[in-house]
Structure 1
Amino acid sequence: MNRLQKWVHGNWFVPVASGVLIIISFAIRQLADGAADPTIGPQWWLDAGVHATQPGAAFTLGDVLMIAAAVIAGYGIVVKAVRALTVRVIGIDLLVSVAAIGAVIIGNFWEAAAVTFLFSVGHALEAATLNRTRSALAELVAVAPDSAIVVRDGQQREVPAAQVGMGEIVLVKNGAKVPVDGQVVSGTGAIDEASITGESIPMEKSEGAQVFAGTVSRGGFLQVLATGIGADTTLARIIHRVEEAQDAKARTQAFIDRFSGWYTPAVMVLALAAGLVSGDAVLALTLLVIGCPGALVISIPVAIVAGIGRAARNGILIKGGEFLETSAKISAVALDKTGTLTEGRPELTDVVVLDSALERSEVLRWAAAAEAGSEHPLARPILETAQADGVGPQGVPDTVTPVPGKGIVSVVDGRRVLIGNPPLLAEYGVVDDGSAVRAAEALSAEGKTPMIVAVDDRVTGVVAVADRLRRDAPEMVAHLHRAGVKKVVMLTGDNRLVAEAIGTATGIDEIHASLLPEDKLDAVVRLQQEGHIIAMVGDGVNDAPALATADIGVAMGAAGSAVAVETADIALMGDDLLKLPEAIGLAKRTVAVMWQNIAIALITVVLLVAGVFAGGVTMSLGMLVHEASVLVVIANAMRLLHNTSSSTAAPQSERIMGREVQEVGA
């Protein structure tokens, strides 16, 4: 399709063609009115409908051109109206069609042409501006890579990105787009991940790091093992999710759709009644035009599209209009501690020996041997430290039995090893003289997570791990309060001393510690019963029941998780805590714009109706004001596309804080 054909089939051909005919018609009228020489006589091509509206008056060229303009601009409108009627929908197109056809019948050709022309111009402008509100989605599509350099048979080959196979090695050079999701197997480089996480600072990547399709190399050279290709990449899932979200309706939009379903027929009845009572057909047709609920119908979807698009551009995926609207009402936020308030990279900090017959290395050896069969994240720092000290376990325990909320029980070389909290000791009849509890409490007070180690029926020591509090956690809590969140709550399986240490450091309003997964669920339900609209931020594993029950479930660092992208109500693609208050603030601004747009639409209709009955508002003027109100509504929504957030947290002093432990609680 060449450029001319593309333009003919575009949005602007119809209004331009109709407008040209209207201009020519007016020019002919001016020539006819200005013909001053009576000897020339009124030529038919100059007689521009001087008495066209009078009964029996003949059509002139000016009339024909004006009717042609109305037909060109109105043909598509009538077709849409008929199609809508076939599925029993009375819409805006029907109002305009009836008004234009009626104007032609009564000989008011200028009004018919003006109404259809202005309506077509409005549609073209709406399409252009709506495309801008979807610019975030267009940008996401634009960053999708077209080609990739793969290593095949020892040779570098450039192939379309869609033809890269799983498990192939892809080369990412300086300035190139990463064509696949994958893992770096060799090399170092800096990757700009703004298209995925919204983070503008390039991330350093080296062996073992994860990279995403659509990100851009800003330096270095990487060899990447492809683990996600085509539609299975994080970028493809984001694009799919944003497409669905921008088309999903909010509850207010659903109400407006139902409202317009009876509002439009009501306008037709009102116009008919006004025409019959007054005997003025022009009045009835004018009411049809100015009663069009165009601005009202578009007021909400345009705001939703812009709001969700702005969020996606900042690395925040919102599932749809309903969730965007609910997020604006959030009054309480519940936070899991592990990996949310803390960095999620625990370290072994203490090994306290309580059995005088044992050395530190022996207590560590027994703890590591028991944890060798555990899947919990806290097993890793214990095992790594034991390996570094040369006392790492050989093989795995004979048996490993998790005890929810208390710890684990392992059998190692025929001996029973307990590692967990005091209730675990009590359950298995291990007697503590109080020294283990005192040591555990002292470690907890320092913000560390203690685990008591017992071999057979004897307490041997306490090991403690700790996690760094995120630098932006206090800033995030402060921003949540500024965004209108009344209560920020911590739900953790860790003990109260550890939880209180973190709560004090972050300014959290309410702390619930030593919780099982079902306890977290109960805490969320209690907050809802208090009248709160609650958002729950968690890892989706032990927090799954609470996440499902909360009004809004939020997943952090979702870029590497296909499940989080697809299931979370809000997915924060990066690991930036400040994206949470940013998401809530954006939701509030979007809903505010929605209500502003509704007010603009309704006030415009009321003023126009009053103007019609008061006199002075014609059919063409009414359509002009109507289309102007539509554009005002769209322009108001487009303000959301401008980034007004400030998500950079001031550096905070790093502190070592306790890590939630499944053995101890979560």
Structure 2
Amino acid sequence: MDTPTRRLRGPWGTPFAAGLLIVVAAIISLAAGVNPFGAGSHHGLGFSPEGPTALIVSDLFMVAGALVAGLPIVRQAVRALAARVIAIDLLVSIAAIGALIIGEYWEAAAVTFLFAIGHALEARTLDRTRSALAELVAVAPDVAVVLRDGQQVEIPAAEVQPGETVLVKNGAKVPVDGIVVGGNGALDEASITGESLPVEKADGDQVFAGTVSGGGFLQVRATGIGADTTLARIIQRVEEAQDAKARTQSFLERFSTGYTPAVLVLALITGLVTGDVVLALTLLVIGCPGALVISIPVSIVAGIGRGAKDGILIKGGEHLETSARITAVALDKTGTLTEGRPHLTDVIVLDPTLGRAEVLGWAARAEASSEHPLARPLIEAAAAEHLPTDGLPESTDPVPGKGIVATLDGRRVAVGNLALLAAESVTDVRGAGAEVDRLAGRGRTPMIVALDGRVIGVVAVADRLRTDAREMIGRLHARGVQKVVMLTGDDRRVAVAVAEEVGVDEVHAELLPEDKLAVVTQLQRDGHTVAMVGDGVNDAPALAAADIGVAMGAAGTGVAIETADIALMKDDLLKLPQAIGLARGTVAVMRQNIAIALITVIALLAGVFAGGVTMAVGMLVHEGSVLLVIVNAMRLLRRRPARGDLRARVPSRARAPQTVGAA
């Protein structure tokens, strides 16, 4: 619990104690009729007989306030010097010590107090922006209920053994990764995928540690425990990502390393030339680039934290910056734009003596013993229409690259392409060639069905497009992506039909894995920053070569979480433009913060030389800029609507995609 006492023991303890001492000093001076904020000569508002004594006591409290706030700063400066780093703390330390020596007690107290507040704000903000990681750690379950010797036993979650049956009751957290082996229920998977709606689970479904049962009763066979769970991998990835530095951050740290000595030299020269020690000390304070240094890390941590809450894992600051520059997205077709599972789309009857049921029935029975991926949709469709699919053919003869020939009830059935008909010496194709061309042109895979040497019909299957594929591509364009490219090993006609339906800009079909790599590298040579979305198997070379590799539906896939630059935990296409939008927004905040910091420092330095900006006023404005930078970065933590936010801006893409053959 975040109580006031606990907060005071944390980063706010030092500024609170220093502030209290400064307030006491001010009250004593005011009670004696003395201006507590005057210069070292202490020109009073008027003197009472108690004035000189009150002034001494007030000065003691003011010095005490400066020491309380300043000693931690001096310690930090000394540690940095020991590591051969000239840090910002050194500027403040020298300025505060110098102010104490020349009797500017109020200035010393004000500078150290304000700097201590700045440190506390930075620490509090980084804690706040790391809230995604804290929330993930909080959802990690502590206990599990397992079945041992037929008894329910409650044990620490880390002591569950692989293969044990874990019981998940209504309202309980799932303590392990596993597979449902009994029961059914709904789980809240927001901590893993960012999905706000409960997901129904039944036999064979995968579940993740840290998700919460919203109803029902599940028996889960444990497959991942402790550090091997998806939740543990996400926590580790977010922690590493928030600590990883962006290129801009690394540059600013190098800049600060050279900038700090430059300010020291400028202050020394100014003091020697003008003989004005106060002016030199003021320059040290004003020159502190505190807002500049905090501007990048606070933005990165906030952006990555926001992504983690939404089920978007970004590997680190450098990848966040690169993602903001993406101008081309390469998409694998199967399993990305499509569901990756073919289904029956057409049954064309070419023999007038037969009906649809006979054509589909013969085709499904012939494919019953086939391991070809296109056999399954035929068998499933026949079963759904209550056609007989039981029993295996008397004989089966797969013909590689052509189809399959089977003997059923003493009759010869061939299912395949035109080349298979030629091999079977079927001459009367009954217009099957025209149907094949028509169906292929619509993005479907046709198969001719022949019975006893005569064509009886054509069946066609297709991989079903994802319902949000077109919307995703529209959102990518709305986010500033110039080119969306589809890469596939499929037939060119199928690829073009899919591309026209979803609105991609360019199609590369009939590709081998090395061809996909060639397309990605060509896009990079054309000046694009490329993101590649694929399944990580046959797309591995292209994923490795792309500027950003994206794994979709990475929940439960340890390899994807570890290797992808961006891992989208949920199998949701709209997470891709959301991730790019988050990256662009984060980099925009970085730039705004850098501008705020630089403008503040330049304006204050000009004000010092022009006169009118004192050490305390400069530090107050400086800390104000730090606060402004922090507040600006924390805007990234606000949840933005994941769906529907860009529909009005999604363009209709009427033109046909550019088609390119094998690379």
Fold agreement, TM-score > 0.5: yes
Q: Which residue of 2 aligns with 1:502?
A: 498
Give the whole-Å Cα distance in 1 for the aligned partners of 2:563 and 2:284: 45
Q: Which residue of 1 aligns with 2:637?
A: 641
Q: Which residue of 2 aligns with 1:611?
A: 607
Q: CA offsets per residue over residues 403-457 of structure 1, 9 Å max, x none?
A: 9xx6899999xxxx999888x989x9999979676554333223222468999xx
Q: CA offsets per residue over residues 183-215 of structure 1, 9 Å max, x none?
A: 111111111111111111111111111111111
Shift of 1:77: 0.8
Q: CA offsets per residue over residues 140-193 of structure 1, 9 Å max, x none?
A: 112212222222222222222222221111111112211111111111111111
* Unaligned stretches of 5+ residues in structure 2: 36-43, 408-412, 648-661
Residues 383 and 392, structure 1, Cα contact 8 Å, conserved in 2: no
Q: CA offsets per residue over residues 71-111 of structure 1, 9 Å max, x none?
A: 11111111111111111111111111111111111121111
Q: Which residue of 1 aligns with 2:462?
A: 466
Q: Evaluate the alpha carbon distance shift between residue 646 and residue 257 of structure 1 in structure 2; reply closer, same or farther with a 3 A threshold.
A: same
What SS does the aligned partner of 1:200 have?
Answer: coil
Give the whole-Å Cα distance in 2 for the aligned partners of 1:556 and 1:47: 73
**Amino acid paired to 1:20:** L
Q: Which residue of 2 aligns with 1:559?
A: 555
Q: Matches of residues 129-528 of structure 1 in structure 2 within 5 Å?
A: 129-349=125-345, 367=367, 369=369, 371-372=370-371, 378=374, 380-381=376-377, 389-390=388-389, 440-450=436-446, 464-528=460-524
What SS does the aligned partner of 1:602 have?
Answer: helix
**Amino acid paired to 2:10:** G
Give the whole-Å Cα distance in 1 for the aligned partners of 2:392 and 2:276: 96
Residues 351 and 364, structure 1, Cα contact 8 Å, conserved in 2: no
Q: Which residue of 2 aligns with 1:662?
A: none
How many residues were matched structurally? 624
Shift of 1:124: 1.1
What SS does the aligned partner of 2:341 have?
Answer: coil
Shift of 1:34: 6.7
Residues 367 and 375, structure 2, Cα contact 8 Å, conserved in 1: no
Q: Which residue of 1 aligns with 2:10?
A: 10
Give the whole-Å Cα distance in 2 for the aligned partners of 1:73 and 1:39: 30
Q: Which residue of 1 aligns with 2:39?
A: none
Residues 66 and 110, structure 1, Cα contact 8 Å, conserved in 2: yes
Q: Evaluate the alpha carbon distance shift between residue 498 and residue 182 of structure 1 in structure 2; reply closer, same or farther with a 3 A threshold.
A: same
**Amino acid paired to 2:634:** M
Residues 363 and 460, structure 1, Cα contact 8 Å, conserved in 2: no
Q: Evaluate the alpha carbon distance shift between residue 146 and residue 270 of structure 1 in structure 2; reply closer, same or farther with a 3 A threshold.
A: same
Q: CA offsets per residue over residues 374-421 of structure 1, 9 Å max, x none?
A: 6xx5565467679985466699999x99x9xx6899999xxxx99988
Give the whole-Å Cα distance in 2 for the aligned partners of 1:116 and 1:535: 47
Give the whole-Å Cα distance in 1 for the aligned partners of 2:486 and 2:254: 41
Q: Matches of residues 521-536 of structure 1 in structure 2 within 5 Å?
A: 521-536=517-532
Q: Which residue of 2 aligns with 1:661?
A: none
Residues 19 and 113, structure 2, Cα contact 8 Å, conserved in 1: yes
Q: Evaluate the alpha carbon distance shift between residue 154 and residue 480 of structure 1 in structure 2; reply closer, same or farther with a 3 A threshold.
A: same
Give the whole-Å Cα distance in 1 for the aligned partners of 2:459 and 2:228: 42
Residues 100 and 116, structure 1, Cα contact 8 Å, conserved in 2: yes
Give the whole-Å Cα distance in 2 for the aligned partners of 1:269 and 1:61: 36
Residues 367 and 453, structure 1, Cα contact 8 Å, conserved in 2: no
Shift of 1:68: 1.6
Shift of 1:9: 4.0
Q: Evaluate the alpha carbon distance shift between residue 333 and residue 470 of structure 1 in structure 2; reply closer, same or farther with a 3 A threshold.
A: same
Residues 517 and 545, structure 1, Cα contact 8 Å, conserved in 2: yes
- Out of 603, 606, 622, the residue aligned to residue 626 of structure 1 is 622
**Amino acid paired to 1:627:** E
Residues 430 and 459, structure 1, Cα contact 8 Å, conserved in 2: no
**Amino acid paired to 1:483:** R
Q: Evaluate the alpha carbon distance shift between residue 496 and residue 641 of structure 1 in structure 2; reply closer, same or farther with a 3 A threshold.
A: same
Q: Which residue of 2 aligns with 1:33?
A: 33
Q: CA offsets per residue over residues 453-475 of structure 1, 9 Å max, x none?
A: 999xx999976432211111111
Residues 449 and 494, structure 1, Cα contact 8 Å, conserved in 2: no
Shift of 1:362: 6.6
Q: Evaluate the alpha carbon distance shift between residue 393 and residue 542 of structure 1 in structure 2; reply closer, same or farther with a 3 A threshold.
A: farther
Residues 366 and 405, structure 2, Cα contact 8 Å, conserved in 1: no
Give the whole-Å Cα distance in 1 for the aligned partners of 2:342 and 2:380: 11
Q: Evaluate the alpha carbon distance shift between residue 349 and residue 7 of structure 1 in structure 2; reply closer, same or farther with a 3 A threshold.
A: closer
Residues 17 and 65, structure 2, Cα contact 8 Å, conserved in 1: yes
Two-structure CA RMSD over aligned residues (Å): 3.8
Residues 352 and 360, structure 1, Cα contact 8 Å, conserved in 2: no
Q: Evaluate the alpha carbon distance shift between residue 73 and residue 454 of structure 1 in structure 2; reply closer, same or farther with a 3 A threshold.
A: farther
Residues 393 and 406, structure 2, Cα contact 8 Å, conserved in 1: no
1:583 matched to 2:582: no
Q: Evaluate the alpha carbon distance shift between residue 378 and residue 226 of structure 1 in structure 2; reply closer, same or farther with a 3 A threshold.
A: farther
Shift of 1:502: 1.4
Shift of 1:69: 1.4
Q: Which residue of 1 aligns with 2:91?
A: 95
Give the whole-Å Cα distance in 1 for the aligned partners of 2:121 and 2:61: 24
- Out of 27, 49, 53, the residue aligned to residue 47 of structure 1 is 53
Q: Which residue of 2 aligns with 1:55?
A: none
What SS does the aligned partner of 1:521 have?
Answer: helix
Q: CA offsets per residue over residues 506-551 of structure 1, 9 Å max, x none?
A: 1111111111111111111221122111111111111111111111
Q: Evaluate the alpha carbon distance shift between residue 23 and residue 519 of structure 1 in structure 2; reply closer, same or farther with a 3 A threshold.
A: same
**Amino acid paired to 2:53:** D
Shift of 1:228: 1.0
Residues 578 and 648, structure 1, Cα contact 8 Å, conserved in 2: no
Q: Say which is worse superposed, 145-154 or 475-484, in terms of deviation.
A: 145-154
Shift of 1:350: 6.0
Give the whole-Å Cα distance in 1 for the aligned partners of 2:578 and 2:91: 42
Q: Evaluate the alpha carbon distance shift between residue 177 and residue 593 of structure 1 in structure 2; reply closer, same or farther with a 3 A threshold.
A: same
Residues 251 and 322, structure 1, Cα contact 8 Å, conserved in 2: yes
Shift of 1:224: 1.0
Q: Evaluate the alpha carbon distance shift between residue 420 and residue 277 of structure 1 in structure 2; reply closer, same or farther with a 3 A threshold.
A: farther
What SS does the aligned partner of 1:187 have?
Answer: strand
Residues 234 and 560, structure 1, Cα contact 8 Å, conserved in 2: yes
Residues 308 and 317, structure 1, Cα contact 8 Å, conserved in 2: yes
Q: CA offsets per residue over residues 608-643 of structure 1, 9 Å max, x none?
A: 101111111111111111111111101001101112
- Out of 590, 599, 602, the residue aligned to residue 598 of structure 2 is 602
1:122 matched to 2:118: yes
Give the whole-Å Cα distance in 2 for the aligned partners of 1:504 and 1:349: 18
Q: Evaluate the alpha carbon distance shift between residue 611 and residue 418 of structure 1 in structure 2; reply closer, same or farther with a 3 A threshold.
A: farther
User: Percent of aligned positions with the same letter in both sequences?
Assistant: 65
Shift of 1:590: 0.7
Q: Matches of residues 61-80 of structure 1 in structure 2 within 5 Å?
A: 61-80=57-76
**Amino acid paired to 2:618:** G
**Amino acid paired to 2:179:** Q
Q: Say which is worse superposed, 569-578 or 5-14, in terms of deviation.
A: 5-14
Residues 133 and 305, structure 1, Cα contact 8 Å, conserved in 2: yes
Q: Which residue of 2 aligns with 1:655?
A: none
Q: CA offsets per residue over residues 568-596 of structure 1, 9 Å max, x none?
A: 11111111111111111111111110000
Residues 237 and 313, structure 2, Cα contact 8 Å, conserved in 1: yes
What SS does the aligned partner of 1:346 have?
Answer: strand
